[in-house]
Amino acid sequence: MRCPSAILLLFLPGVMLWAQEERAPASDLSAQTSAFEPDGNAVTFTGNARLTDGRNLLQADVIRYNYETGVASARGNVRMTRGEDRLLADSVEYFREDRTFTAQNVRLGRYPYYVAGSEARGNEASITVQDASFSVGEPGPFQPMVTAATLAYRSEDRWVDADQANLGIGSVRPLSLDRFSHSIDIPLISYLSLNGGYRGSLGAYLETALHVPQTPGFKFGGTVGLYSARGIMFGPSGFYASESGGLRVEGDLRSGYINDHGNKLTDVLGDRVPEDRGFLQWRHAQDLTEQLNVSAQINLWSDSEILRDFKPRYFYPVQDPDNYVQAVHTGANHHATVFTRLQPNDFQNVEQRLPEVRLDLLPVGLGGGVFGRAGAGIAFLREEPPGGGPVLRSDRLDAHVALTRPVSEGDWFSFAPVLGGRVTHYARAMGARDDYTRWLGEIGFDSAIRSSAVFDYQNETWKIDGIRHLLTPRLSYRLVPDADQGRPFIPLIDRRSFNTYLPPLGLGDRRNLDDLPPTHLVRVGVDNTWQTRDPVYGSRDLLRLDLALDFHLERAAGQRRTSDLHAALALTPAPWLEFHLYQRVAPQDVTLEELNLGLTLRDGEAWSLRFDSHFLRREIDEYFAEYEMRMNEIYSAVARLRYDSRTSRFNEQALGLRQNLGNIWRIQYLLTMYDGPRRESDFGFSVSVDALGF
């Protein structure tokens, strides 16, 4: 018996029983034609047959449904869809009772991942594929590929587990693994990097790194570098990140060792660089509880030049390695910190903290409109100069308290007087003292006047819909009598460092505790912000200009009555234009002491131009420019210049070409020429291969 129809809903007696089951009410079948089988237990649906069962959609040329067993058998152009997951197969057996299925000769996945296999079994939570191949996009000669005897995909956490796996590119899969785990939110090829080229100081070189997933969130492997003029560098490395119950742990490890037989020159101390060289870098951050966090950073270098010679991209951002371990407990109104800083490298000067323990209370209301903040700590300090010299030690107890009583008039005026004190005890004093205690007091105020004006200015080109000007003049005063007392008795460890910005005003915020200067000053500042309406964020900044300077009522030796005038400007009128400037001028003779500026222009993805300059009187006068242009979907060109005006030379000139290979790899070819006295050679050529994200 045949029943031709455009759509056949489940009205047959047996099928109606199926539709009425409480566990899966959202089910139906439709097709162009249907036919009962002689035994009356099954119906065959033919022509654009569709089975919908909850989130599952099964489509085929023919679907045979047995309403006694609840099994739907599909064949001919079979497609099965669930959310973003899609499966194609020669045939599918779908078991409606538990919503599981089996399929033959399958292809499945979600963009951009692709899985194929001889057989698949699954349910709404996971799918297991036999004789599987797993790739990014359709398989091809440059596509990363994993083949496995068994591959399981869990849709809930978007995770893939493979047994007896082989990993590689295209048909070349040299890496065999008993087990392979991978999150599809991470590019499959993020585990592999490749870099090669030529530098005069290294010779021809090839660097490669491979990191294989061991468990979810943990990748471990190593790096190998071949340098024709220096030797072979190798070392383990890895990355880890996970989250459970809102608590996160993450970190990474990098290392390398080389028996360097090249021209190693000397280190920062003028000593010869050893032949056996290496480094180890470890970074770790972990939430033990919602309130307790630990972090660590370890940098062990055999010499001061190891990263500069072999890993310059790690060296230039941080040229002075830090080694510390820290634990921070954050309470409702306090921070408790245990901080240890070490000196494992013998070529640098480090203010060691062995350890420092602090408790800092956040501002809290004390009644009557008065707010107080306080802090206390104990620190065991040590400083051992590299290359020899006297060792400084200091056991220091320190506590401070500050009170303020803010007064405001509406939202336009605020005045906050400040009264505070700080006591510091040195158990290891210098000079003729065994110990020394310093008592300091602080008095002052912070005030501000806030005003605004709105201008009905419209500019369609710049997307300006009105302008609001926020103007805030600020005035602060601080007096710390005899702040520099006790200098002959204090071990000078936490001292002033080179800094061109205005220092913090509050006595409790000073880090140079062993080297406090005379403090009696007035700070004047003006904050200016121009904004316009924004349909997404409500408002956005067009221009910001902040000015500030100090008037020293009491001066240290050589200090001027008036500090430099500090100006910071940020111009962001449109997404394609950014301009930032920081300037420091001596008001006595209008001498420019410092100027840092940056300008970025961009036209979407078509091109971008960046220009920076750095000027520090008698020290630095450098200009930097970088231009990138997209030539087509595959190639883009890049040029970079770095010019030193003080020496009238180009310190760096670079020309490069970037290639997009199948939307999987980005290959960069870079030719670089250097000038000036430096460890690096005056010529370099590199080819780097990086994975693109998805």
HSE (CB half, 13 Å, CA atoms) of 259? 0
Give the CATH number for residue 95.
Answer: 2.60.450.10
Written as one letter, the residue type at 598 is G
When pLDDT is averaged across residues 4-15 and rounded to a whole number, the result is 38
Give CA–CA dist 109/114, Å, rounded.
5
pLDDT at residue 666, as a whole number: 85
Tokens at 296, concatenated = 């660590």
CA-to-CA dists, residue 303 to 94, 224, 274, angstroms = 65, 20, 8
Would you say residue 68 lies in a domain?
yes
Would you say residue 196 lies in a domain?
no
In the three-class reduction of DSSP (H, G, I as helix; E, B as strand; rest coil), residue 18 is classed as helix
pLDDT at residue 448, as a whole number: 98
User: Which stretch of DSSP H or E encloses residue 240?
Assistant: strand 231-244
pLDDT at residue 187, as a whole number: 64
Please name which of 655, 619, 651, 621 lies closest in space to residue 640, comparing C-alpha atoms: 655
33-37, 147-151, 417-421: least confident range: 33-37
Tell whether the model's pLDDT for residue 691 goes beyond 50. yes
When pLDDT is averaged across residues 325-351 and rounded to a whole number, the result is 96
3-state secondary structure 309-377: HHCHHHHCCCCCCCCEEEEEEECCCEEEEEEEECCCCCCCCCCEEEEEEEEEEEEEEEECCEEEEEEEE
When pLDDT is averaged across residues 164-180 and rounded to a whole number, the result is 83
The alpha carbon torsion through 310, 311, 315, 321 (nearest 10 deg) reads: -80
pLDDT at residue 672, as a whole number: 92
CA-to-CA dists, residue 318 to 223, 304, 315, 322, 677, angstroms = 21, 12, 6, 9, 20
Q: Which domain holds residue 36?
A: 1-109
Please name which of 518, 338, 523 lies closest in space to residue 448, comparing C-alpha atoms: 523
Collect all residues with Cβ–Cβ distance below 8 Å to 549 and sequence separation of at least 6: 502, 523, 524, 525, 562, 563, 564, 565, 566, 587
Give percent above pLDDT 70 in the chain: 94
Residue at token pair 């028996």: 259
More confident residue, 153 or 143: 153
Would you say residue 339 lies in a domain?
no
User: Which stretch of DSSP H or E encloses residue 455?
Assistant: strand 451-459
Residues forming a β-bridge with 550: 523
Would you say residue 97 lies in a domain?
yes
Instruction: Tell me the pLDDT of the chain averaged across its residues.
Output: 90
When pLDDT is averaged across residues 164-188 and rounded to a whole number, the result is 79
What's the residue count for the chain? 694
Please name which of 590, 536, 598 lies closest in space to residue 562, comparing C-alpha atoms: 590
| Among 41-55, 501-515, 653-667, the range of highest mean pLDDT | 501-515
Collect all residues with Cβ–Cβ distance below 8 Å to 130 and sequence separation of at least 6: 117, 118, 119, 120, 149, 150
* CA angle in degrees (0–180, nearest 5) for 221-166-134: 105
When pLDDT is averaged across residues 227-246 and rounded to a whole number, the result is 95
Tokens at 646, concatenated = 């003080």
Tell whether the model's pLDDT for residue 188 goes beyond 80. no
Model confidence pTM above 0.85: no
When pLDDT is averaged across residues 409-430 and rounded to a whole number, the result is 97
Would you say residue 610 lies in a domain?
no
Domain count for the chain, please give it: 1
Tell whether the model's pLDDT for residue 184 goes beyond 70. yes
Tell whether the model's pLDDT for residue 19 goes beyond 50. no
User: Which stretch of DSSP H or E encloses residue 218?
Assistant: strand 218-227
Written as one letter, the residue type at 687 is V
Give CA–CA dist 78/90, Å, rounded.
6
Q: Residue 9's pLDDT band (boundaries 50, 70, 90)?
A: very low
Residues forming a β-bridge with 314: none
Tell whether the model's pLDDT for residue 301 goes beyond 70. yes
When pLDDT is averaged across residues 8-16 and rounded to a whole number, the result is 37
pLDDT at residue 26, as a whole number: 55
User: Which stretch of DSSP H or E encloses residue 29?
Assistant: strand 27-30
Tokens at 300, concatenated = 């062990």
Are 502 and 550 a contacting pair, CB within 8 Å? yes
With 0-12 / 13-18 / 19 or more C-beta atoms within 10 angstroms meaning exposed / middle / buried, residue 457 is exposed
Q: Residue 330's pLDDT band (boundaries 50, 70, 90)?
A: very high
Tell whether the model's pLDDT for residue 46 goes beyond 60. yes
Give CA–CA dist 142/691, Å, rounded.
12
Give percent above pLDDT 90 in the chain: 71
SS3 content of the chain, % helix, strand, coil (to 5): 5, 65, 30
pLDDT digits (tens, 9 = 90+) for 531-586: 999 998 899 999 999 999 999 999 988 889 999 999 999 999 998 999 999 999 99
Tell whether the model's pLDDT for residue 404 goes beyond 80. yes
Collect all residues with Cβ–Cβ distance below 8 Å to 475 and sequence separation of at least 6: 446, 447, 448, 522, 523, 524, 525
Tokens at 237, concatenated = 């490395």
Would you say residue 22 lies in a domain?
yes
pLDDT digits (tens, 9 = 90+) for 508-529: 999 999 999 999 999 999 999 9
| Among 169-183, 189-203, 304-318, 520-534, the range of highest mean pLDDT | 520-534
Are 235 and 256 a contacting pair, CB within 8 Å? yes
13-27, 246-260, 408-422, 641-655: least confident range: 13-27
Give CA–CA dist 361/366, Å, rounded.
13
Give CA–CA dist 521/499, Å, rounded.
18
pLDDT digits (tens, 9 = 90+) for 61-109: 999 999 888 999 999 999 999 888 899 999 999 999 899 999 999 998 8
Would you say residue 360 lies in a domain?
no
Give CA–CA dist 224/231, Å, rounded.
11
Tell whether the model's pLDDT for residue 237 goes beyond 60. yes
Would you say residue 70 lies in a domain?
yes
